[in-house]
Every structure is written in structure tokens, then in C-alpha cells.
A and B are shown apart, each in its own frame.
Chain A
Amino acid sequence: MPHPVDAPVFVDALTKTFKVPVRESGLGQSIRSLFNREFRQVEAVKEVSFEIARGEIVGFLGPNGAGKTTTIKMLTGLLYPTSGTAQVLGHVPWRREKELLRRISLVMGQRNNLQWDLPALDSFDLNKAIYGIPDKEFQQRKTDYIEVMDVGDLVTKPVRNLSLGERMKVEIVGTLLHRPDVLFLDEPTIGLDVSMQRRLRQFLLDYNSEFEATVLLTSHYMADVSAMASRVIVIDSGSILYDGPLSGLSERFSATKTIRVEAPDLPADLSPFGRVLERGQERAAIEVERDQVSTVAGQLLRVATVTDLGIEETPLEDVIDRVFTQQKVEHDPTGG
């Protein structure tokens, strides 16, 4: 048994390979496959290593099939790795020791931890019993969270009568009642309207700062990641492409920046300066290589009477999109 590590989440060379049966089409192949099952290896997670410190919020980014969900499943004990080690709060997750399970929380997709036909309050009571939450703490937290998430009238209705967004809110309340130290969140704001997304993010941030909880979150909404995560791990085809601060993501992956310029006498043809993204009568947005930014900016200032000039990073969504397309071009698709 490896010595317990201090970091709440510790991952070292974690690997998961699946054996997937080869599915052929056609009658002849189907018959053949009855006798001779062929498999191919799919490397869902390849030698992934990282450490998360106490109180850190880390965003996990990657396209579908990148290995994010597989990694989270290994960290929550739902899957055995093929090789490598990991520890969560000093425990090996796939041993599924009760002491560990009592201190983590997993919110995955739209799956319900709540009882479908009964009001959420009843499920909360059950959670109290499952996690052994002391009475006083339970009542206090329940009241607090319900108020903060504004779900007072929702928790008395059967869960099946709630909309997706309402269910998610109530689900989050239920999942934090036992005050987990490590949260694994998969798409937590999906289905919520913008104001609710903001409220939920704030809720999680407050929880994180009050209890120094460690949060590992995956999301397709860049707003989630940029609002909550200070650090981002980008994973694709089973490997980590980037692990560092959010701000560094653009630098690392985006070779370009965007110059926004406003001037009453902008030249008609701006293409010599760079790739024109937007064009209006007196304004334009031009995409320019990073090392060309100051040169182009200087040129624009000489060529027109500029009233406003701004230099922006490429939006993160576009960066991410580009990262994954780039990866697909560079590597052979391994599928899975």
C-alpha cells in the first residue's frame, strides 16, 4: 500500500485500456464473429498524471471520448485502472472504502441521486442516514442550502414533477449535505438558465472557500470553467495536452490574437493586415499572429485616425475548438 499523499487528489501514470469487440457488418461476418470474437484495444486514458491541492478548483476540458469521464470514474472508484495509481484523500479510490465514500460527492450528468417519486426532502433525510450526518448540522445545512439555492417550494414536490433545471438545483443541495471534501462534478450547470448558472457557480465557490473543498469539474460551458476554475487540465484522446492556469491556455494554444479597431476612415481592404473577422463601416476585428500584433497595431495607427484600439485573446471556446481539431489532424483517431 503506497504511503498516503498529502494532496487530496493524486494521480500517477493512470491508464485505462478497454477491450472492445470488433463489430463487422454483413451476414458472413456476423456468423464468423459467433465463433471467433475479435477485439481491439482502446486506450481511453494514457498515463495521466496530476495532483490537485486542497481547495483547488480544477476544470477538466476535453471533447467527448477524450477520457475525462473515464478518469473521473476511476477517481470515484467506479472503474479499475489498467495500470498506474491514484489516491483520493489518502485512499485508493477503487477499493471503495466507506471512509472515502463519505467524504466525496459525485454529480454525474443528469443521473439522480434523489428518489424519483418522492419529494426531495425525503431523499435528504435518507442521505442523512446514509452519511450519518449529525442532527444539528443536517438541519442547519439543509436550511441554509435550500435558502441559497432558492428551492424552498421545489423540495416538497415529487422529483419527477420538476424540470431538468429544477432537479439539478435540488440535486446539488442534496449532494453537499454531508459536507464532502472532494467534489466531482460532471456538467453541473447543464439545463439551467443563465441566472441560475451564475447562482450555482457562486454557491459552489462559496462552498469551496468556506470548507476548502477540492473540486474537479468538467463542463462544456466555458463560462463555468472561467468563472470557477483557476486551473485547467485539457485532455484529449486519453492524454493531457495542457495542465496549468486558465490564462495560459490561450498563450499555449492560440497562435493568434484579435485586434479590434474603430476609425472613421478605415481603408476598404483590410486583408493585408490579417484575417478580417468582422467588418462594419467604421469598425473591424482582425485576427493577427501573436508576434505580429504590435506591428499591425502600429500600421493601423498610421493608416487611419483610430479612435479605439483593443487587443483581445481569441475566445476560449474557439481556442478549445481549434485545439481539438488540431489534435485530430495530427494524430490517428483511436476512437473510444
Chain B
Amino acid sequence: MTRPAAEFSLIRYYRAGMRMGFQREIQYRMRTSMMIVGFMVEPVIYLVVWTSVSEAQGGQIAGFTTGTLAAYYIVWTLVRVFNLAFAPGAWEWRIREGRMNEFLSQPIHPFHRDFTFFAGSKFVWSIAWIPIAAFLTLIFDPVFEWSAVAVAGFVVAIWGGFLVRFLLQYWLGMINFWTTRSSAVFGIFIAGELVLSGRLVPLELMPRWVEGLAAWLPFKWTFQFPIDTLIGRLDGAQILSGIGMQVLWSAILGGLFIATWRQAIKRYAAVGN
């Protein structure tokens, strides 16, 4: 009996995968709601601290007015949940539990599976963010400079930020194929990201040398750049060049990942689990 030819299409897979990610996250909506409330505490703290500093300095610091700061930290929460990506440490669990066999025997790279899963979940997170944003807006009186360019740019930039961060964490996760004690490395990565991405505070408020350092690293493009885009601090050209940087970093990190993955699998398949 002849078999009908296979019709594989990556696009179709992405649609199916994202749908599953969405459905799964919807199932756990209680957990998602609690988590986003937990996530909200951090930006509120920063917001309170920085607006009181700003008030003390006459309503402005380094080009940020109190209203702009409020807007920054409200959008912060949405970017924060969009940035949630496959945890580097989860690879250790995968290897130990023998789940790698499952992934390696399928004709699709686990990256597509993991990525689409997370991507699908973002739609649920976005919905969960809306009441948070409304609540914070009522309390903190943010100032946005709306424009079609800003919104359109934001939609691209926030997904671009997610892609860059996903690739970065995915690549870092490869370390688990060589050692089980990787958590200290990730701790350093998270600490560095906190300071260099605009998560702790907009980079303009950091010392000059920190700003300079951040320009060479991918962190800024996952966090501050999308936020700046929506709150209207960037013009069209800056948005475009920022997206370009996201594309560049995606290519770099993607390449690093592919090269490291090959070595990781060679090692895994030589040793087994």
C-alpha cells in the first residue's frame, strides 16, 4: 500500500504548537493570575522609589518625568511576562528524567516545540496583564506619548525581545550537557541582566559606563527597548534600528545555540543518560 506523501510545514506546526501553549496556559489561569500579581510588586517598588527621587529633584531625572517613569514601570510588567522563557535549569531535569529521548526521536527540533509553547502562552499573559495595567494606571497616573508608530513598533519589539531572550536562555541551558552545577552561572546571568537590561532602572539613570557596557549586550533589547517604544520615547528611526539590533542578536544567539547544540548532542549520544 503506498503511503500518501507527508505534508510538513513549519508554519502549520507553529500554529498548532502555539495553540497548545495557549490552551495549556488557560488551564492554569489561576496560577498565571497569582504569578502576575507577584510580578507586579517589583515594578511598583521601583516606581515608588524612582518617583520619589524624581519629585525630590523637581519632577525630572535624566530626561524621565514622573509620569514617564510611571508609564515605564507599567509597561515593564507586560514586557516582564513576555520575557518568560524556557528555564536554562530545566535541561538538567530533561536529561535526568530521560525526556531527551522523546525529543530526539521526533523529526522536529525541540526548539520549535518549546518556543511555540511559550509563544502561545503569551496571549494568556497579555490578557492577565490588562487588569494590572488598569489598576496601576489609576494609582500612578502615567504619561504615554501615543502614536501609531509607537504601538506598531511595540508589537514587533516585544516579540523580538522575547525571541532574543528565549534564544539566550536556550543557549545558556546547553551548559547542562556538560555539568549539573549550572545554577551559579545562571545566577550571575540573572544578576547581570537585572542591572544591564533596564529592568532595575532605565539605563539612562545608570552611570555612563554601565550604559556603555549595556549597549554591547543583548539585555537592553529584551527589556528597555520594547518599553521605550510603547511609552513613546523613541522616534521611528530609533525603533527601526532597535528592531534591527534584535534581529542581529537573534542571529548571533541562534548561531551560537546551533553550534553548541551539535556538540551537546554529540556528548549526550556518546554517553547516554
Q: Do chains A and B touch in the complex (CB under 8 A)?
A: yes
Residues of A within 8 A of B (CB): 18, 70, 73, 76-80, 94, 96, 98, 101-102, 104, 106, 108-109, 111-113, 115, 117-118, 122-123, 125-126, 128-134, 137, 158, 178-179, 210-211
Q: Provide the residues of chain B in CB contact with A115, threshold 8 Å.
A: 20, 24
With beta carbons under 8 angstroms apart, the residue of A111, A118, A137 that contacts B4 is A137
List of B residues within 8 angstroms of A104 by Cβ: 105
Given the known A-B contacts A78-B104, A102-B107, are A132 and B269 also in contact in the complex, defined by CB atoms under 8 Å? no
Which of A112, A123, A132, A179 has most B Cβ within 10 Å?
A: A132
Alpha-carbon separation in the docked complex, A96 to B106 (Å):
9
B16 lies within 8 A of A128 (CB): yes
Shortest CB distance B141–A (Å): 40
Chain A nearest CB from B94 CB (Å) reads 11
CB pair A106 B108 closer than 8 Å? no
Bound-state CA distance A46–B266 (Å) is 21
| Minimum distance in angstroms from A307 CB to a CB of chain B | 53
For the complex, give the distance between the alpha carbons of A18 and B269 in Å: 11
CB<8 Å pairs between A and B, sample of 11: A73-B272, A76-B101, A78-B101, A78-B104, A112-B102, A122-B20, A125-B20, A129-B16, A130-B108, A134-B6, A158-B27
Total CB contacts across the A-B interface at under 8 A? 92
Across the interface, which residues of B come within 8 angstroms of A108, CB to CB?
Answer: 101
Contact A94 B269 (CB under 8 A): yes
Is there a chain A Cβ closer than 8 Å to B212's Cβ?
Answer: no
Q: Is B185 an interface residue (CB 8 A)?
A: no
B93 beta carbon closer than 8 Å to chain A? no
CB pair A113–B24 under 8 Å, yes or no, is: no
Contact A78 B269, beta carbon cutoff 8 Å: yes
CB-CB nearest in chain A for B6 = A132
Q: Are A101 and B16 in contact (CB under 8 A)?
A: no
Q: Is there an interface contact between B8 and A111, defined as CB atoms closer than 8 Å?
A: no
Tell me whether A117 and B24 are in contact (CB under 8 A).
yes
Check A210/B1 contact, CB under 8 A, given A78-B269, A130-B13, A134-B7.
Answer: yes
Is there an interface contact between B13 and A118, defined as CB atoms closer than 8 Å?
no
Identify 17 new A-B residue pairs, CB closer than 8 A, beyond the known A117-B27, A125-B20: A18-B271, A18-B272, A79-B269, A80-B269, A101-B106, A102-B8, A111-B98, A111-B102, A117-B28, A122-B23, A125-B19, A128-B16, A131-B6, A131-B107, A132-B9, A137-B4, A211-B1
Nearest-Cβ distance from residue A101 to partner chain B, whole angstroms: 4
A165 to chain B, nearest CB (A): 20
Q: Quick check: is B99 within 8 A (CB to CB) of the other chain?
A: yes
Q: What 0/1 readout, one digit per residue, does chain B (256-273) give for beta carbons within 8 Å of chain A?
A: 000000000010011110
Q: Is the Cβ of B23 less than 8 Å from the Cβ of A118?
A: yes
Q: A122-B20, A179-B3, A211-B1 are in contact. Are A130 and B106 (CB under 8 A)?
A: yes
A125 touches B16 (CB 8 A): yes
Nearest CB of chain A from residue B142's CB, rounded to whole Å? 36
- B102 proximity list for chain A (CB < 8 A): 111-113
B101 and A132 within 8 A (CB) = no
Instruction: Return the chain B residue nearest A97 by Cβ.
Output: B107
